[in-house]
Structure 1
Amino acid sequence: MTMGTRTQRRRPELAAFLRSRRARVTPADVGMPPGLRRRTPGLRREEVAQLSGVGVTWYTWLEQGRPINASPQVLDAVARTLRLDPPEREHLYRLAEVPFQPDREGLTRQIGPEVQGIVDALDPMLAVVYNSRYDVLATNAAYRDLFLVPETLTIGLPNVLWTLFTLPEGVCPLVHRETELPLMVATLRSSYGRHVGEPAWEEYIRGLSAASPWFAELWARGAVTPPGPRVKTFRHAAVGEMRMTSQSLSIDGMPECRIVVYSPEDEDARAKIALLRERRERLWPPADADQGTEVIIRS
């Protein structure tokens, strides 16, 4: 199917979608009087245009499925007027053939019990949930066995990059930082492009740059790369070094979040993960397990 054919099919869908969404929003919903001779309980086209700050002719053509261009700002204004929820807003973007951007400042900072249950069930594989800024949203016990070191408790930020760039190299769980951290910064920058100018992101970049001159240097290089599977080497004082394969899994309904699963690369690593599990069971009886989780996630 050619690009032109796809466009021809999407335009009637866009027209029908806008008409159906307009019909369900009443004047009272947007603080307007009902007026006289109203044939439909929904908004008129000129009312949608007025409330969205666009021309009546332009909106009429959009709703008629004509081949006109729409900017993200205008589509957002129409979406607000029509009270579209996030899935509907994304659908509008797709039909209008405009690259979709999730809501600005909408970065997920917490997860539900269902996702936490999946992460816990992956044990003995190590699992963590990150958002695109590498904030730690959830971990399982196997992940904490390897990555919780006493020094992380003093950092007080639930962010992997902040931890890795500010821990002394001798206690950092990540081996080969000179090759691994530049890749993580490049992955961060690929996400940053969707959030340029957002106060939370800009403050994060400034703060980490001030805390770590090396991060500031890597950030200034401007390298960009998407996340992907990798083999990494980690260390733990109790068992030494081990090679682990990482794999990222997306999560429906959680934009820019992923479950990262680390599995042993070889039998040596598998045996060491088992030793760490035994060590945890000796040091942290089941009654104490939940008490440690909250502290660890804050690291």
Structure 2
Amino acid sequence: MQLSNQTRLDELAQFLRTRRARISPEQVGLSGGGRRRTPGLRRGEVAQLSGVSVDWYTWMEQARDIQVSAQVLENIARALQLDVNERKHLFLLALQQLPADLTLVETTVSPTLQDFLDLQGTSPAYVSDQRLNIVAWNRAASLIYGDYAAMSARERNTVWRTFTSPYVRDMLQDNWEAHARHRLAQFRASYGKFAGDPWWLELIGDLNHASEEFRAWWPQHDVLNGPEGKKINHHKSVGLLIFDQISFLVSDAPHLTVTINIPTNDSDTSLKLRQLLAD
């Protein structure tokens, strides 16, 4: 077992013990009778409330490397009366991912994050969720990639748009296939967290009908995360645009990714963006 993994399990064990210690039996409808050597619930009581065996719960608090399901974590979170942030923390420690419901909600961004996008000026910037939907953008992004405000929710999905939009193909030209394969590999990586979810299955089915390339490439199971590096776009008004791409997660909303395409220093892309923004 890698040290980093053991450290994570140790953190999980300590977190569970501290949360257990702060809950009295009376708070969860149990009798508090009898002397207790330590404050809070006993391990057996948490196990009873969570619907698992005492041994299994004990192994969690002993930082053993055992399999745990999302449903069991939900039961533990309820038993320990965890708040929203504590529940997130529990899932990240135990499964290294957020609860599924938290990754599919909050499709609007904070005013501060929107201000950050707007301040990028000549750098097209946008925010995407784990479904690869564009949920926020700045004016430069709309000028280059299309009027997101006028698009439907389906059209703002970057995988759907990549494989079905003539505008995207014209903008990328010879780079379309590399971009499409990269975007599909990102989509496959995200799908692994939600395999079988009806929303994903519907989109995959529609893409199979709409795109010959998607039908050919989806069965290859390519998986990839991260930015695409240099981006070469062709705009109908100003011509060639060259960007360096950077992406990062939002610290207080880690299901959202900020992507910024920065005009390269060795091109006139920044000048062209200023011209577009001035119109």
Task: Bin the TM-score by the shorter chain.
Answer: 0.7 to 0.9
Between the aligned partners of 1:275 and 1:117, the Cα distance in structure 2 is: 21
Q: Which structure: larger Rg?
A: 1
- Farther-moved stretch of structure 1 (83-92 vs 125-134): 83-92
Report deviation, 1:227: 1.7
Q: In percent, how many aligned pairs have the same letter?
A: 34
Q: Which residue of 2 aligns with 1:288?
A: none
Secondary structure of 1:263 counterpart:
strand
- TM (norm. structure 1) is 0.77
Matches within 5 A, 1:59-208: 59-63=57-61, 65=62, 67=64, 69-73=66-70, 74-85=72-83, 87-89=85-87, 91-92=89-90, 98-105=94-101, 106-108=103-105, 109-148=107-146, 153=150, 157=154, 158-168=156-166, 172-175=170-173, 176-208=175-207
Could you say which structure has the greater relative contact order, defined with CA pairs below 8 angstroms and 6 or more residues apart? 1
Between the aligned partners of 2:11 and 2:271, the Cα distance in structure 1 is: 56
Report deviation, 1:92: 4.3
Cα–Cα, structure 1 residues 57 and 178, in superposed 2: closer, same or farther, change >3 Å?
closer
Report deviation, 1:200: 2.3
Q: Which residue of 2 aligns with 1:54?
A: 52
Cα–Cα, structure 1 residues 180 and 16, in superposed 2: closer, same or farther, change >3 Å?
closer
Secondary structure of 2:171 counterpart:
coil
Contact 2:160 2:207 in 1 (8 A): yes
Cα–Cα, structure 1 residues 68 and 239, in superposed 2: closer, same or farther, change >3 Å?
closer
Cα–Cα, structure 1 residues 214 and 244, in superposed 2: closer, same or farther, change >3 Å?
same
Between the aligned partners of 1:180 and 1:11, the Cα distance in structure 2 is: 38
Report deviation, 1:36: 3.3
Map Cα deviations across residues 179-211 of structure 1 (whole Å, 9 max, x no partner).
211111111111211111222222222233333
Between the aligned partners of 1:234 and 1:29, the Cα distance in structure 2 is: 60
1:36 aligns with 2:33: yes
Report deviation, 1:116: 0.8
Cα RMSD after superposing both structures: 3.2
Q: Which residue of 2 aligns with 1:220?
A: 219
Report deviation, 1:15: 4.6
Q: Which residue of 2 aligns with 1:289?
A: none
AA at the equivalent of 2:82 = L
Cα–Cα, structure 1 residues 146 and 214, in superposed 2: closer, same or farther, change >3 Å?
same
1:267 aligns with 2:267: yes
- TM (norm. structure 2) is 0.82
Between the aligned partners of 2:224 and 2:55, the Cα distance in structure 1 is: 42
- Farther-moved stretch of structure 1 (129-138 vs 51-60): 51-60
Q: How many residues were matched structurally?
A: 272
Between the aligned partners of 1:196 and 1:18, the Cα distance in structure 2 is: 28
Contact 1:50 1:56 in 2 (8 A): yes
Q: Which residue of 1 aligns with 2:18?
A: 20
AA at the equivalent of 2:195 = V
Unmatched runs of 5 consecutive residues or more in structure 2: none
Between the aligned partners of 1:42 and 1:251, the Cα distance in structure 2 is: 35
Between the aligned partners of 2:151 and 2:39, the Cα distance in structure 1 is: 59
